[in-house]
Amino acid sequence: MTKAAFASIVLAAGKGTRMKSRLPKVLHAIAGRSMLGHVLSCLKTAGAMETVLVTAPDHEDVRAEALNHVPALRSAVQVRQLGTADAVKAARAEIASREAPVIVLYGDTPLLRSETIERVVAGTDNGTDIVVLGFDAADPTGYGRLLTDADGHIEAIREELEASPSERAVTLCNSGVIAFRSAALLDLLDDIGNDNAKGEYYLTDVIEIARSKGLASSVVECSEDEVMGVNSRAQLAQAEALMQHRLRLKVMAEGATLVSPETVYLSADTAIAEDVTIEPHVFIGPGVSIARDAVIRAFSHLEGAAVGERASIGPYARLRPGASLSEGCRVGNFVEIKNTRIEAGAKVNHLAYIGDARVGQGANVGAGTITCNYDGAAKHFTDIGDGAFVGSNSSLVAPVTIGPGAYVGSGSVITKDVDAGALAVTRSKQSQIDGWAARKKRAQSENASNNRGNKTAAGG
């Protein structure tokens, strides 16, 4: 089914003072993505043909983040914080000529789903002029109440400070998300006044104004969690927990095994194929893809990495941005990989750091090996050829190439290229002193005896 074309206005001018942060509220992250990023991605999936972002005058970083998600985004500035209707007015000129529906929503609702946006917009198709997204609240305290008639049409949205005792008993609440049948309906904003307890222009007042003009308003409902707004660090943590639960259910439904789901952290863009197994206490940051039949063992940390089919990672492995692991390779315990391609069948199994490098097909990198990729000013590349064998506790000083099938002896510091099939060893020749251990012990015993004698002579 073809999605309905619509425009959107995202309100993101709030300062978020309860977050106690220098960072604008909508830029705080949930599952590795800003709250604003979640909302904009949701709109994109739902099919928004145009989005206008409303920010405060000094929120250049908010606008920059929005452009990362919607390059064609248009923006407007709310000069003073005079309420939600005032914020929408700031964006009205950007979409005034549009005939399509317009939906207004907020940049701090990261759990909103694209299918819910589609339902709200679709509600305007049957001639309804305004559609409000509502929810049934377990505790409605603090929310605006949706007051409906016997036919389910909305008569008013009453803010709690303005509500009567009977109206406060209503549990059907306003999420703040409102869709208008066309941009022309935004002209109703001019009739909104600020005669209320806060002296602000409430967007919610548009319902009574529309009703007085013979226009119809209806409600579409969703779960309370989905429209949760984030105004504090505690709510940020709560939203994170809800998002993680959602993401875990999604990847398991798509065929991945999470041995202990509640201990696995996923990001909004995590891509996990069928028959992947993820053991407990794994952190997956942004930019990670994991191909089918791969195994991510316990206590591993992945970010900006691609894991190939049948690869095995960890336990206690760290994949940093630019790590690319091919089919069937192995990265073991306490191994860190950064900006490196590990090719098919290669192994880096123990206690190693491989950065800015290539490890060729079937190569083996021994325990304790590191690529010395940084000279204090620039990064340099290490190339380990197909089938090469690097012995334990070796240092490969970049730029350097280990040829295909070459061997590096354990404990070597390699500063020059090693030819294909050659053996490179740089450690000192081993020597032996017979009887040294016995002489060492006798000397220690004599020293201890002399020290005791000196203490006795001194009256100790």
Contact predicate 278/312, CB 8 Å: no
Mean pLDDT of 224-253: 97
269 burial via Cβ count (<10 Å: 0-12, 13-18, 19+) = middle
Q: Three-state SS across 309-365?
A: CCCEECCCCEECCCCEECCCCEEEECCEEEEEEECCCCEEEECCEEEEEEECCCCEE
Q: Which of 246-263 are b and which e, b meaning 16 or more Cβ less than 10 Å from the residue's Cβ?
A: bbbeebeeeebebeebeb
Indicate the pTM of the whole model. 0.90
Q: What is the pLDDT of residue 121?
A: 95
Residue 193 tokens read as: 């006044």
Reply yes or no on whether the pLDDT at 406 is more than 70: yes
Contact predicate 167/159, CB 8 Å: no
Q: What is the DSSP string of 140-177?
A: -TTSPEEEE-TTS-EEEEE-GGG--HHHHT--EEEEEE
Taking the C-alpha atoms of residue 94 and residue 234, their distance in angstroms, rounded to an integer, is: 35
pLDDT one-digit tens code per residue, 72-94: 999 999 999 899 999 999 998 88
Point out which residues pair with 312 in neighbouring strands: 295, 330
Contact predicate 192/88, CB 8 Å: no
% residues pLDDT > 70 (the chain): 98
Contact predicate 183/219, CB 8 Å: no
pLDDT one-digit tens code per residue, 360-393: 999 999 999 999 999 999 999 999 999 999 999 9
On average, the pLDDT of the chain sits at 94
Tell whether the torsion through CA atoms of 131, 132, 135 and 139 is positive or negative: negative
pLDDT one-digit tens code per residue, 57-68: 999 999 999 999
Q: What is the pLDDT of residue 196?
A: 81
Mean pLDDT is lowest, of 38-47, 172-181, 196-205, 326-335, for: 196-205
All CATH 3.90.550.10 domain ranges in the chain, comma separated = 6-227
Residue 87 is given by DSSP the state H
Q: Which of 153, 281, 350, 380 is catalytic?
A: 350
Reply yes or no on whether the pLDDT at 452 is more than 80: no
Closest CA to 235 of 36, 15, 30, 34: 30
Contacts of 255 (CB under 8 A, 6+ apart): 273, 274, 275, 276
> Coil, helix or strand for 130?
strand
> Coil, helix or strand for 400?
strand
At 455, the pLDDT band (50, 70, 90 cuts) reads low
Taking the C-alpha atoms of residue 275 and residue 303, their distance in angstroms, rounded to an integer, is: 20
Taking the C-alpha atoms of residue 197 and residue 162, their distance in angstroms, rounded to an integer, is: 7
Taking the C-alpha atoms of residue 22 and residue 192, their distance in angstroms, rounded to an integer, is: 33
User: What percentage of the chain's residues is helix, strand, coil (to nearest 5)?
Assistant: 25, 30, 45
All CATH 2.160.10.10 domain ranges in the chain, comma separated = 233-424
Whole-number Cα distances in Å, 67 to 41, 90, 117, 285 = 11, 19, 21, 21
CATH number of 233-424: 2.160.10.10
Q: What is the DSSP string of 255-284?
A: T-EESSGGG-B--TT-EE-TT-EE-SS-EE
**Is the CATH code 3.90.550.10 the one for domain 6-227?**
yes
Catalytic (active site) residue 301: no
pLDDT one-digit tens code per residue, 181-204: 988 888 899 999 998 878 899 999
